[in-house]
Amino acid sequence: MTKADIVNEVAKATGMEKIAVQNVVESFMECVKGSLANNENVYLRGFGSFIVKERAQKTARNISKNTTLTIPAHKIPAFKPAKVFMLKVKANVK
């Protein structure tokens, strides 16, 4: 499902215009990105959490040049689904 599909589904379900729904979806995504960029997690009860994870420093190898390099510690965005959400997805698996 793409962003356009989400906009269409929400517009159909709510009766709102697609332009208005698209603005809401875009604003929501900007809020989530901004919060994660400021190291703030986003919690949506019944859906899940957008969280910032810390990756530890590690050593990697470049096989073609036979060298090692150090990848510094860094942060990455992640999504952790709520239990209710996971159970609903698992129930639909056949």
Total-model pTM: 0.79
Do 18 and 48 belong to one domain? no
| DSSP class of 85 | H
Task: Tell me the pLDDT band of 92, cut-offs 50, 70 and 90.
Answer: confident
Q: How many domains does the chain have?
A: 2
| DSSP class of 82 | -
- Domain around 18: 1-39
Tell me the per-residue pLDDT of 27-66, one tens digit each, with 9 for 90 and over.
999 999 999 999 999 999 999 999 999 999 999 998 899 9
Tell me the per-residue pLDDT of 1-23, one tens digit each, with 9 for 90 and over.
999 999 999 999 999 999 999 99
Tokens matching residue 89: 């997805």
Do 85 and 46 belong to one domain? yes
Q: Where are the alpha helices (DSSP H) in the chain?
A: 3-14, 18-37, 83-91
Q: What was the pLDDT predicted at 9? A: 96
Do 25 and 11 belong to one domain? yes
CATH number at residue 69: 4.10.520.10
Do 16 and 62 belong to one domain? no
Q: What's the number of CA atoms in the CB half-sphere (13 Å) around residue 36? A: 19
Whether pLDDT at 93 is above 90: no
Whether pLDDT at 94 is above 60: no
Q: CA-CA distances (angstroms) from residue 58 to 4, 9, 69?
A: 39, 43, 9
Cα angle 51, 54, 59 (rounded to 5 degrees) comes to: 145
Q: Which residue has the tokens 């009860």?
A: 45
Task: Tell me the pLDDT band of 77, cut-offs 50, 70 and 90.
Answer: very high
Do 15 and 26 belong to one domain? yes
Do 81 and 51 belong to one domain? yes
